[in-house]
A and B are shown apart, each in its own frame.
Chain A
């Protein structure tokens, strides 16, 4: 397990986090015995973070998602392991037990609490490890890929902060023409209350590789999680990636996730946003090689006063790529959702085939969903469509099912579950589907 910076002697480190500064970054890096090059990277990112302004309410990306009440200084970053033996929380154990995986890794409060490989991954040349170890054991790969190309530190204010303060994360490397059949499971359990976490996922699938990765994000009570996901999807590789966010409803959650797709790459990204008090997620598919096939599928179900915002970008830079985006959300109580998406087709990207759909099912008149789909097309021989729908659970649907003997709660449940089914049908791991269905059930119930 880990300790928060505030718990560390000597006092000068403690002082440094009362307000974040360059010294905080130096102290964190030193506490983890990082190589000099990583410290340099962190410091450069810190300078970028300081130079960039906080989002303002008239920035298009932040017009509908305000940071009122968010204060970075309130969230203590993790510093180092405290040397106590790690125990896995019961909640996490359930997650581990339910999935049949090739390997699993649990991060609890910034540190590895558990790892187990059911398969001999290293015999295949597959790397499945935590980022901190990777700094020492695979420095060339990390220097080549970590926030250099897919998500650069200056991508936005939050990615710069992440690059300066990142604390935990998985590094997954699948060599050329290598296949990992069962999913690789990474669980982040942010267990300490009020902490600031900066979790990273770096997946490199080399040419012809095949892999499925599941990220589970849990905990985060009264905390902050500012994560980054980077996927490098090589020529002819097949990647299935699931980001399953189920934080406490008090967590501030910021995510920037991007995938760079090379020639004939095949990616399906499932984004689930169940938890958090507020989520702002930037998700991009960047199609750089011809013949790519990318799917970005999302589900969300805010209740209470949750606020969930997804902003997506499908970038077609080259000809003959296909991308399909589907985000379906249900809303209850006084919840709010925002979906903004753009399909961007560059002048050279002829024969682009791109879709974007966002559906919202509003269960209470006090909930509100905003949907802003968009197209920026600079090529002339393309097929692009976008659509946004918002529907109430209408009386006619409920009456039809009740006239077949279903009770009102059963009918409403079935309609909501059916609404999510279009995405669940495309989730490639059966145990994940079961888990998602259970959460939907729980959320409908109250």
Chain B
């Protein structure tokens, strides 16, 4: 049982304050949907949690089980158990999915560290990685489980992938990296109904009692497939309302125009 805590988080980019005091607690086993209009700062929150160097945290804290992530680089946060599924995963030509994932998994599961402790030279290719045979077996199993074609192992990461293929590959990566907390940034955007089902199925399979999900979305659509425990409304850099699934239904009925009217005049306080 782990806890991800976001306490009074303020963040700026190029002198503009985007996050204005975010408070959120996510526990293992919970699915927390974060909904808000475009430009409200939802994606920024995802990037700040994952440690994007572009943003500067000016106040507040992000903690996993009481340990602050703020001084950690992005890769250290991933090793601490955070996973960010990107809205727009970048293509990395020449780097195969399998090669990349083997390095990533080896780091996150501690093979690399273990090899260093044993004094292995990183120059010996493969000496600090998860054994190939073991990795292959697991990758093949998970590709099958998460509906990713086996040919993707050899394909270059996100290079020439369709929107749906990219999002599915993000879910596959999540399955391989086994995070404590997964933040999904608009994983439903741009997907047709079939791709949305596949991605939702993947999330549901991974939504085990030892893992928490922060599901960032603009639309209520994905919540027909993935059932949240909590739904929060994000507006102008902070959470303005939290409740159960009924909040999502209310949003669908009233639209974001209602949020605008309801919360626009509220003073922003820390």
A residues adjacent to B (C-beta < 8 A): 395-397, 399-408, 410-411, 414-415, 417-422, 441
Contact = CB atoms under 8 A, between A and B. Distances in A.
Nearest to B88: A396
Contacts, number: 79
B100 A405 contact: no
Interface stretch (B50-58, B135-143, B246-254): B50-58
12 contacts: A400-B90, A402-B51, A402-B74, A404-B78, A404-B104, A404-B177, A405-B105, A405-B107, A408-B75, A414-B95, A418-B156, A421-B156
Given A395-B53, A399-B53, A414-B103, A407 B75 contact: yes
Given A395-B53, A402-B78, A406-B107, A418 B84 contact: no
Contacts of A419: 93-94
A406 B108 CA distance: 8
A401 B100 contact: yes
B69 to A, nearest CB: 13
Given A406-B75, A417-B95, 10 more contacts: A395-B53, A399-B74, A402-B73, A403-B51, A404-B104, A406-B104, A417-B94, A418-B94, A420-B94, A421-B93
A421 B101 CA distance: 17
Contacts of B93: 418-419, 421-422
Interface string B167-195: 00000010001000000000000000000
Contacts of A410: 103, 107
B94 A397 contact: no
A359 to B, nearest CB: 10
A403 B183 CA distance: 11
Nearest to B158: A400
Given A418-B93, A421-B93, A405 B78 contact: yes
Nearest to A441: B123
B78 A403 contact: yes
Chain A, interface SS category? helix
Given A414-B95, A414-B100, A403 B84 contact: yes
Contacts of B84: 403
A415 B50 CA distance: 20
A401 B92 contact: yes
B79 interface: yes
B61 to A, nearest CB: 20
Interface in B244-270: none
Contact of A421 (B74, B78, B94, B107): B94
B219 interface: no
B230 interface: no
Interface residues of B, number: 31
A421 B95 contact: yes
Given A396-B90, A400-B90, A405 B108 contact: yes
A63 to B, nearest CB: 31
Contacts of B107: 405-407, 410
Minimum-distance CB pairs A-B, first 6:
A418-B94, A421-B94, A402-B74, A418-B95, A405-B78, A405-B108
A394 to B, nearest CB: 8
Given A399-B53, A404-B100, A405-B108, A422 B75 contact: no
Interface string B100-120: 110111011000000000000
Contacts of A421: 93-95, 156
A411 B86 CA distance: 17
A401 B73 CA distance: 12
Nearest to A407: B75
B86 A400 contact: yes
A169 to B, nearest CB: 35
Interface in B52-92: 52-54, 73-75, 77-79, 83-84, 86, 89-90, 92
Nearest to A423: B94
Contacts of B50: 403
Given A395-B53, A407-B107, A410-B103, A402 B94 contact: no
Contacts of B54: 395
A426 B89 CA distance: 27
B92 A405 contact: no
B95 A405 contact: no
Contact of B74 (A403, A415, A420): A403
A415 to B, nearest CB: 6
B78 A397 contact: no
B83 to A, nearest CB: 8
A404 B85 CA distance: 9
Contacts of A418: 92-95, 156
A418 B103 CA distance: 14
Contacts of A417: 94-95
B103 A415 contact: no
B75 A414 contact: no
A368 B86 CA distance: 32
Contacts of B105: 405
B75 A402 contact: yes
B56 to A, nearest CB: 14
B92 A414 contact: yes
Nearest to B159: A418
Interface string B22-55: 0000000000000000000000000000111110
Contacts of A405: 75, 78-79, 104-105, 107-108, 177
Given A415-B92, A418-B94, A408 B104 contact: no
